[in-house]
Every structure is written in C-alpha cells, then in structure tokens.
Structure 1
Amino acid sequence: MDTLAFDGRMGASGDMILAALLDAGGDPDVLAPVEDALGVEYVVGRTTTGGIDAANVDVRYADNAETQRHEHEHGAEHGHDHHHDHATDEHAAEGHGPTRRYDEVIDVVERMALPDAVEERALAIFERLGNAESAVHGTDLDATHFHEVGADDAIADVVGASLLFADLDPDRIVTTPLSTGDGEVEMAHGTTTVPAPAVVEIAADADYSIQGGPVERELLTPTGAAILAEVADGVETLPTMDVRASGYGAGDHETGDRANALRVLLGETAGDLRRESITVLETNVDDVSPEMLGGLQETLTEAGARDVSILPVTMKKSRPGHLIKVVVKPEDADRVARRLAEETGTLGVREHGAGHRWVAERETRTVDIELDAETYPVDVKVASDREGTWLDASAEYEDALAVARETDRPVREIMARAERALDE
C-alpha cells in the first residue's frame, strides 16, 4: 500500500505541510491554479534547521516575486520569518492579503476551477477551520471572520496542499501524534495559551492525538491541524514501510538545536487493518432475566452497538450477576447507553475511552454448493486487510442451517463446503 506518513513531533503548519510535500517529490506545477486565481507565486527555498536541510515555502504576490525570491533564499539563511499561517490582522496588512468571512473563502476556492476531488478536500478543510472558529467565538459559521486563515497565503496553503496530495496520490495518509508546543501565542483578539483554542476544537474531531512541548512555541497552527485532520489517520508510531522518498518542511521558529521541521515519508507499507474510533460502555446487573439478557445482542445492535458481551460476575454480598460490555462508536454512545438503561433498568452506565480498535474490511459473498444434484446458495463473510488480502472466511450460520435442514446434513459440513467453494 502506498502510504504518506507525517512525523509530527515538531508540530505542523500550512506552509510546513506544503514544503514537506514539495520536498518529497510533489510537482510544483500543479499549484498553478492557485497562483493564477490569487495573483501569487509560491517561492520555494532551502534552509537549515537543527542541522537538517529543509525546504521552505513563501506565498508572495507575483508582481515582485523575483525580488522576494532573493530575499527569501538569503533571509532564510539568517532565520528571518517570512510566513506564518497564524498571522494577526496587522500581519495580514503587511502584504499577506485580506482576511475574509467563511462564505467569502468558499467563494474564492470555488472560483479556482479545481478538479472535483481537490475542491472537495479543500472545502472540507475550510469547513473544519470555520466550525472551530465559530465554536471558539460563538458565531454562526457563515458569519465567522477568518482573522487568521482567510488571508491569501493561508488559502494558498490549504488549496496548495490539496493539489499536492492529489499529485502524490497515496493510498493512505497517516500522522504520528502532533506536538502543539507550550507557552502563549498572540492571536488577532489577544493572547492565549498554546495550543490555541481553534487547534483544540479541530483536534477534538481529528483521528490523530496531540501532545504538549517540546519547546515553548506555537508548533501546531489551526491550518496545519485542519489539513491533517481532514486527510490523515492517527498512528502512534511511524508504520513499517519501504521508503522511496522523504521531505522536510521548515517552520519559522528558532528552536535551538531542535530541527523546526515537519518530516514526511512516502513508501510502501504492508496491508493493515482499518483503525476505528470506539468507546466502551458497561454496567453490572443482578436482577435481569435470562430472556432479557439474551435479547440485548439484537436490541443494542439496532441502537448502534458494534459488539455486545455479557459475562457472569459475583457482585456485592456474593450475589450472582452479569457484566454487560458494549463497544460503540463515540457518536452513538449516548443513544446506546439510554437503550441499555431502558432494557435492563440499570441505574448507571460507565464509559471507558478505549480510543480505537483495529478492524478488518468485511464483505459478504454468495457461493453455490451442490448436494444431491441440487444447488444451494450460502452467504460467506470475508475479512481482509486494506490491500484486499484475505484474513478469514466464515459461512453464515443461518444460511448453512437452512440448507442442513433441507438436506438432512450436519451444519458443520454445509459451512465447510461453502467456505471451500469460496476458496476454490
């Protein structure tokens, strides 16, 4: 599987993502629609940070791009700041373009005539940013003013990254936990602590996790957080992969002997399982009839449960009871917990944040088996990894039971024949 893996231990920003993707082999020519629409140019240079040679990207207005390219390449050698996607209103006034409302940003993107998949991804990223800003400031989404990510350079970051993802076209994108930094940061409306409130809102809906440190700087910006929230699955460590390309995207901060750079690796990984966010609900009961317990599998599954387990336990005063454990998606937890309380009469349901589970891709295939010159269809469930490699095949019991009754044969024989037919 072709995988693009981000190493987020020094955070991420829009320009760092852009630079890393270009450094890993992304074609800069695909950025032309943004340059034409906004009248800007992506100025790509090199710098050294923490002893690492890295790419850096500045978005500049095209009328003086050559002068700015010279300043960018030479200024980077001395650690000059040229681009921040957490710019304040004053920073925007210095040449990074106007700030805009959410609906105005959407209009700018839609007028770029991008490929459908690229436009869809860019708009989804801005929706994450808009929802985060509206939640922080208590405004409606369309009325939300993008003080920090509505400028031309930030639009260029989001759309440019979307174009480069399409150019590199990996099968999967992942990121390790993203470092936010520590300390305080100046925003358009005042000073706040790191991570910025918008970053916290975005991370809450992302698959990746965040961590503080390792320096007192803002390392994870709203734009960087939103881009990776939209495209990347979270992983705890870099996956095992055969690397064919890598890239480093430099940030603007001076971080001593630490490289202020976002690293990205591109290569082949073995087919793995799909990572799915879950939470676990549980309750203890000692006065629920066996009939009610037996029906919980069906009723809780109808309410959204992914898995239901019932275990015998010994409760207070040595009373026999049962522990009911239910695996659910986080967004279904409230509904399933209420159904569990209604069905059992329990006075409390505990929730454990299990985080994730790894699940195989599943599909059902129908096979025909021949018995006594008759043909019988049987459904078989197939489990596979993300590359399509089969992990297991299991005939549906109810189908096999129906055939077994009709042919007066053991259910085990029917299931084995169906599974063998699929394998053949």
Structure 2
Amino acid sequence: AHGCAVEAVTFHEVGAVDSIVDIVGACVGFELLGIERFLASPIHLGRGFLGCAHGRYPVPVPATAELLKGARVYTSDIEAELVTPTGAALLATFCEDFGPMPEMRLEGIGYGAGTRDFPDFPNLLRVMLGETHAASGQERLLMLETNLDDASPQILGHVLERARQVGALEAFAVPVVMKKGRPGTLLALLCRPEHREALLTLLFRETPTLGVRFYEVERRALAREVISVETPYGPIPVKVATLDGEIVNAAPEFEACQQAAERHRVPVREVLLAALVEFRRRQREG
C-alpha cells in the first residue's frame, strides 16, 4: 500500500505505546481464552474527516480501508472514525467472515467502552464467546453454484481439481437442461466462508460464467480418524468414521492401496480386501 519496501515504512500513530498494548493485549487474551474461530458483524466505519500525522484524511483513513479489503463494511450519518487502523488490523488478521452471529451456546460476554460519547448509541465494543455446533460435527458452510453451457469437459475437470486445491471441501458437476433446451452443467463447490473469495475468483477466471450464486448451508459430518493396518502389501491407512463413539464406517485409502497394488503387481481389490480384513481382526481383538 505504501509502494516501498517494508523496511522503509515509518510508523506514526500505530507505533505509539497504546497501539502496541492494544495489539499485544488482544493476542494474549485470544490465546488465553483458546479461541478457535473469529467472526464479526459487518463493520461500521463512520464517515467525515480527521487530522493525523500526514494531514487531513477522509474516514476511513487509507490504512483502515486497505486493511479491510474483502470485509463487509458500511457507513451511516455518524461523523466520526469508528474503526482505527489498529482495530482494522486485528479484524482483518483474525476474522474469517463478517455477517450474522452463528448459532452457538453462549459462554461469556465482554464489553470495552470508548472515551467519546455519541448521542444516539453507546460507544461500546462487545465480544461474545461461545461454542458452535462444529464441536459436535455440525458446521455452517457455503455452497457456490454456476450453470455452464459452453465449457469443455477438459476445462470442467481442471476447474474441479483446482477448486479442491484452493479450499473446496466438495467439488462436483451435474448435467442439467438449461434455457432453450440446451444441455449444460451445474458446477457446485462446497467451502468454508474464508475460502469463498478465492473460489469465486477461480470460477470467474477459469470458466466462461458471468455470475455465481452462493448461499449458506449446514453440514453434519461424522468424527473421523485415520489408522494404519499392516497387510502382506505393507502398511495401509484406513479412514474410520464414528457416531457417538461407535464405528459406523471404515474405508482403506484408495490411493495407498493403488500404489501398493502397483508395487506388488496384484489387483487393487486384493489390497483393499486385505486392509479391511486386518482392520476387522483388530476390532474383534480389541
């Protein structure tokens, strides 16, 4: 943002002791509380002008605006700076999404009051600590979808593979019939909110789509772990899924079985069967 090397940047207000205390104190607090995810409401920036070390600047000041790229922000008729560069840096660093509060079991609430008084609302920052459904295998995700009638199979395959690399939890294509009876493809990507922008960029750059729709979905997933079993073809990892502590599914990792089959020149199904037999034997023996 400064157009120069990091070493050449000179701090003014943000280098003051109070800013350093704010940042270090927040980080220490987050660590002590054991926070795993950070979410925030859309950010109220304020408006107007203010004076700083380089003169008179519009609200939000350039540093705040730069830091909050990608965040959901808004303004109102309040003539004041409501988000400082220090606050923006903390939000941009820790928050994975900006929107409504997720469903959670509320465990604690904290307030921080500013020194400035506003006539129509309290000058407070509220932090709410809670446990979401993610702890029990349920989480809120985003589904991204676009309909394509002019993309080649080679492009679709490439995009699906790249989407998984970028952060898609699931990526699939479904044949559909579009307007005027044209055959087409519904391309769908399931992701966490923090990967939305990267996946949108991928779809716009790599496909001919002119628009992508996205919406929130809920997913409940079984608890999973990977264990290794010894077979005549070497160790094979087995993915084990449990429900309320009970094993309900077990599947050998196919790629590992495929590699073992190639090394020993046997059919893949033999390696898969050997891994399952050994896994079940271990289960019976406890």
Q: Structure 1 length as normaliser, TM-score? A: 0.47
In structure 2, the residue corresponding to 1:225 is in which secondary structure?
helix
Identity, % of aligned positions: 28
After superposition, give the CA deviation of every residue in 1:295-333 in whole Å (9 maximum; x if it has no partner).
Answer: 558744576472333232334543323333456743466
1:380 aligns with 2:239: yes
Q: Please tell me whether the aligned partners of residues 285 and 321 of structure 1 are also in contact (alpha carbons under 8 angstroms).
A: yes
**Correspondent of 2:66 among 191, 197, 201:** 201
1:241 maps to 105
Letter paired with 1:395: A
- Structure 2: any 5+ residue segments left out of the alignment? 262-266
Q: Please tell me whether the aligned partners of residues 200 and 212 of structure 2 are also in contact (alpha carbons under 8 angstroms).
A: no
Map 1:347-366 to 2 at 5 A: 348-352=208-212, 354=214, 364-366=225-227
2:119 maps to 256
Aligned-partner Cα distance in 2 for 1:198–1:213: 20
2:9 maps to 144
Aligned-partner Cα distance in 2 for 1:180–1:225: 10
Cα pair distance change 1:349/1:294, threshold 3 Å: closer
Map 1:8-157 to 2 at 5 A: 135=1, 137-157=2-22
Deviation at 1:149, TM superposition (A): 0.6
Aligned-partner Cα distance in 1 for 2:129–2:185: 49
Map 1:401-420 to 2 at 5 A: 405-406=269-270
**Correspondent of 1:222 among 48, 68, 85:** 85
Q: Mark the structure with the bigger radius of gyration.
A: 1
Letter paired with 2:54: H
Q: Please tell me whether the aligned partners of residues 281 and 333 of structure 1 are also in contact (alpha carbons under 8 angstroms).
A: no
After superposition, give the CA deviation of every residue in 1:11-66 in whole Å (9 maximum; x if it has no partner).
Answer: xxxxxxxxxxxxxxxxxxxxxxxxxxxxxxxxxxxxxxxxxxxxxxxxxxxxxxxx
Deviation at 1:258, TM superposition (A): 1.6
1:395 aligns with 2:251: yes
Aligned-partner Cα distance in 2 for 1:304–1:202: 22
Aligned-partner Cα distance in 2 for 1:182–1:391: 57
Cα pair distance change 1:392/1:140, threshold 3 Å: farther
Aligned-partner Cα distance in 2 for 1:321–1:353: 16
1:285 aligns with 2:149: yes
Deviation at 1:161, TM superposition (A): 2.6
Q: Structure 2 length as normaliser, TM-score? A: 0.64
Deviation at 1:256, TM superposition (A): 1.2
Choose 359-368 or 249-258, whichever is displaced more: 359-368
Cα pair distance change 1:317/1:240, threshold 3 Å: closer
Letter paired with 2:86: T
Matched length: 262
Q: CA RMSD in A?
A: 4.8
- Structure 1: any 5+ residue segments left out of the alignment? 1-134, 342-347
2:182 maps to 319
Q: Please tell me whether the aligned partners of residues 181 and 213 of structure 1 are also in contact (alpha carbons under 8 angstroms).
A: yes
**Correspondent of 1:189 among 54, 58, 63:** 54
Letter paired with 1:285: D
Q: Please tell me whether the aligned partners of residues 281 and 352 of structure 1 are also in contact (alpha carbons under 8 angstroms).
A: yes
In structure 2, the residue corresponding to 1:146 is in which secondary structure?
coil
In structure 2, the residue corresponding to 1:159 is in which secondary structure?
helix
Deviation at 1:223, TM superposition (A): 0.3
Aligned-partner Cα distance in 1 for 2:106–2:120: 29
Cα pair distance change 1:392/1:236, threshold 3 Å: farther
